[in-house]
Chain A
Amino acid sequence: MTKRFCVLVAITMVSARAGMAQNPPAPPPPPAPAPAAAPARPAPTTQSPQIDCNWLSVDSASKTATFQLTAGLTGLNSALNFNGFKDGGLTVTVPVNWNVVIQFTNHDGMLPHSAEVIDTVKPMPAGPLDPAFPRAMTVRLTQGLGSGEKDTIRFTASKAGSYLIFCGVPGHGLAGMWIHLHVSATDKQPTLTATSSAGR
């Protein structure tokens, strides 16, 4: 039986995720204070991304987590985002040894994108690396898939640890187009969590 799971929490560090349930972070302040003669329209503010529980579905019987990964879902970061999150702002957690299916779609009307699971590295690479798990990547990793194109990634999360889901098109990951994948030795169910953008 397939169920949908997500945990709508905001946390400060991925490693401190478990058990922490807070409200989503408040939007950052506008870039400059409003002048005395304030305009009628509100000052622009950044829009907080929201998790959609439909992104993650879970089949406990087959230990399979299926994640809808959409490149350029919103205009955040000039569309260099996954599901509207950038700089690790979203964490997908799966129990170790589960099967992971990532259904990738490029929603960006302007640029090609791709996705791969890589080890957490610093500094962020400018281009693609070898995937952390065999075949944990879309086709045309460097070239990317064009607007509207889809691909499915299937792999087994065979080793616990912290990984990145990273756009392999040169420059995109470096510009913030990555989220976290946490392969947990303790969690029993896959989850989605909003996390802070560490370092940004």
Chain B
Amino acid sequence: MHWARSWSAWFAVGGMCSSLAAQGSGGVKNESTVSPLTNVTPAMLLQAQTSGDWLTYGHNYTNNRYSPLSQINTTNVKNLIPRMVFQSGTERLGSFETTPIVVNGIMYITSPAIPNNVVVAVDLRTQKTLWRYEHKNAPVSAACCGPNNRGVAISGGNVYVATLDAQLVALDQATGKEKWTVQVGDPTEGYTETMAPLVIDDKVIIGTSGAEYGIRGFVRAYSTADGKQVWNWYTIPAPGAKADEGGINGWFGKWSRTTPEGANLNRDIAKEKADSAKYADAWMHGGGSMWMTPAYDPDTKTLFVGIGNPSPDLDGSIRPGDNLWSESIVALDATSGTFRWGYQTVPHDVWDLDAVSPPVVTMVGGKKAVVHAGKTGWVYVLDAVTGKLIRRSEAFVPQENMFAQPTADGTRMLPGANGGQEWSPITVNPELQYAYTVGLHQPMYYKTHYSPYETGRPWLGSAFQAIPGEAQWGTVTAINLQTGKKAWQVKTDQPMIGGATATAGGLVFTGEGNGWFKAYDAKSGAVLWQFYCGAGVNAAPSVFQVDGEQFVAVAAGGNFQLSYPLGDAMFVFGLPKAGM
């Protein structure tokens, strides 16, 4: 089997070193020392902010992707070298978007999801593949933007992975054997899974992808023990939905003429109201995917989720109303799934401006806040208790003709439909109170082209078209969350997608579609180190330690949607050891 052979094919780069263990990392004396299997407990997850492991997609429940490790810092990062690389050899390449989860020297990685979802556990001390799980996906046509996967969740001896054919699978952490499987949605109707789940106590939290196919989004909790559904919250309220379900006149909402911050949305409210009876059932295919990992505040047992576009994306004429709670940050009671508050960044969106980048919980000016970087190109800072806006940042990408309605001939508006900030997770340095965004500048025409709903068919309500001759590029930006001002910004050659990770060493790591993986000075934005990985670095890195030695891992596998060079390498960077 190609996978089995290749995942274990660790090798040295540039002849500098051969492996972690061969470098005598930390206290490891015996190269064959096997990493002990560590059971991730609820207590470990609660304390993950201080952990040298990387235990959840966002490192810890706040989702801030901030590692407390500082062995690699602004002074010595220039010496960073690839300490090992492995290549998946996957038979079909796709976007390689996984964030490795690392628990006491064992790394858990997911592959692109074609033809199958694969999870691999690798012992970093011995460089041996412990197990490999391959999920045979049912044929899925509904994966518009790339059949990818962003990682696993681990807790209680289980590894949880969500598959492209919309299953949630619990694997034995020691063996990779299936313990239970539950069908989360029907892939023939457009439900797919690409996100990394999140475990809170005895529940696995998961949403769905599929708002390009007319699904009705949800957030669900399943029992970690047996996969039984514990609660469900529909992101699109049905007519008559109660307040604790998020209903405000169903999904029609308050017929908002502006964004919450006052930008004119150019809506024809009178026409929408006149059409509301005609399209009274539109909510049933109203979209609203939660397709990235949420944040969690254990103090208040609140889950913070980001919700994506309504369906169809561009044709608002057949879905009157605010289309709650698409394009929103929503707070849910994590124990029951009841609705607490919602902040809709773009009511009645017709530009595909998902609120998809994972929300982050952090302290801002002494107040607990939820921070989200939107496809809109702004960073939103919300009061974590009330959901009220504290501030909105300066734009971190160019904005032009904002919220002009799409037309049949095409409307030019910036940002394009990928953002702003795409699914890429931001990172927050809690000491500096800076958020780091990775943005895209992709001028596009927004066009309408009426099409009726068809089960399992893509349903954008038209298409986005790149504008010939207009340059595309990206940004890496530090936003001061206390002021909303840009602390620094760096322009990149290509639109950015993948995400960023910060460390207590004063660094921010992020990669680019052209293959460069870079370390920035968190305070100044100076590039302190870079390494060319050969394929697009379009995944969010993780930072961890093994036996007291710090490493940075990132997937270099490109991006399908943006046509960045594909590959299958997972790089692990570290400092050289003495004698190298």
Partner-B contacts on A (CB < 8 A)? 28, 31-32, 34-35, 37, 39-41, 44-47, 72, 74-80, 107-112, 126-127, 142-149, 170-171, 174-176
Contact = CB atoms under 8 A, between A and B. Distances in A.
Most buried by A among B140, B143, B278, B442: B278
B53 interface: no
Contact of B563 (A28, A44, A72, A145): A145
Nearest to B137: A126
Given A44-B318, A78-B144, A110-B418, 14 more contacts: A34-B278, A39-B275, A41-B317, A78-B212, A78-B460, A79-B463, A108-B463, A109-B445, A109-B467, A110-B145, A127-B115, A148-B466, A148-B468, A170-B143
Interface stretch (B329-337, B446-454, B496-504): B446-454
Interface string B540-580: 00000000000000000000111100100000000000000
A125 to B, nearest CB: 9
Contacts of B466: 109, 147-148
Interface of B: 92-94, 114-115, 139-145, 147, 212, 271, 274-275, 277-279, 312, 314-315, 317-318, 416-418, 442, 444-445, 447-453, 457-468, 560-563, 566
Nearest to A43: B278
Contacts of A175: 141-142, 457-458
A31 B143 contact: no
Contacts of B563: 112, 143-147, 149
Most buried by B among A45, A75, A77, A79: A75
CB-based closest 3 A-B pairs: A75-B449, A146-B563, A75-B462
B533 to A, nearest CB: 18
Given A77-B451, A112-B563, A126 B144 contact: no
Nearest to B453: A31
A122 to B, nearest CB: 13
B462 A78 contact: yes
Question: By DSSP majority rule, is chain B's interface helix, strand, loop, or mixed?
Answer: loop
A146 B278 CA distance: 39
B209 to A, nearest CB: 13
Given A77-B457, A112-B563, A175-B458, A46 B463 contact: no
A161 B418 CA distance: 42
Contacts of A109: 416-417, 442, 444-445, 463-467
Nearest to B139: A126
A170 B147 contact: yes
Contacts of B447: 75
A4 B335 CA distance: 67
B450 A45 contact: yes
A78 B560 contact: no
A145 B315 CA distance: 27
Contact of A111 (B144, B279, B317): B144
Contact of B277 (A35, A78, A80, A143): A35
24 contacts: A35-B274, A35-B278, A39-B271, A44-B318, A46-B451, A75-B449, A78-B144, A78-B459, A78-B460, A78-B461, A78-B462, A109-B416, A109-B417, A110-B561, A111-B145, A111-B561, A126-B140, A127-B114, A143-B94, A143-B560, A147-B466, A170-B143, A171-B142, A171-B143
A78 to B, nearest CB: 4
B278 A75 contact: no
A118 B451 CA distance: 28
A41 B271 contact: yes
Contacts of A44: 315, 317-318, 450
A142 B318 contact: no
B274 A39 contact: yes
A6 B256 CA distance: 49
Contacts of B460: 75, 78-79
Contacts of A34: 278
A174 B141 contact: yes
Contacts of A110: 145, 417-418, 463-464, 561
Given A32-B279, A112-B563, A107 B465 contact: yes
A110 B275 CA distance: 30
B560 to A, nearest CB: 7
Given A32-B279, A77-B457, A142-B92, A40 B143 contact: no
Nearest to B561: A111
Contacts of B143: 170-171
Contact of B463 (A35, A39, A40, A74): A74
Given A32-B278, A109-B464, A175-B458, A126 B561 contact: no
Contacts of A108: 463-465
Contacts of A72: 463, 465
Most buried by A among B278, B463, B562: B463
A147 B560 CA distance: 12
A108 B562 CA distance: 11
B439 to A, nearest CB: 17
Contact of B140 (A74, A76, A145, A171): A171
A71 B561 CA distance: 15
A137 to B, nearest CB: 15
A111 B458 CA distance: 12
Contacts of B442: 109
A56 B466 CA distance: 25
A50 to B, nearest CB: 13
Given A109-B444, A110-B417, A146-B563, A46 B450 contact: yes
A75 B446 CA distance: 10
A70 to B, nearest CB: 11
B561 A37 contact: no
A176 B457 contact: yes
Nearest to B140: A171
Given A39-B274, A175-B458, A74 B141 contact: no
A179 to B, nearest CB: 17
A117 to B, nearest CB: 20
A41 B274 CA distance: 11
A108 to B, nearest CB: 6
A127 B417 CA distance: 26
A9 B240 CA distance: 50
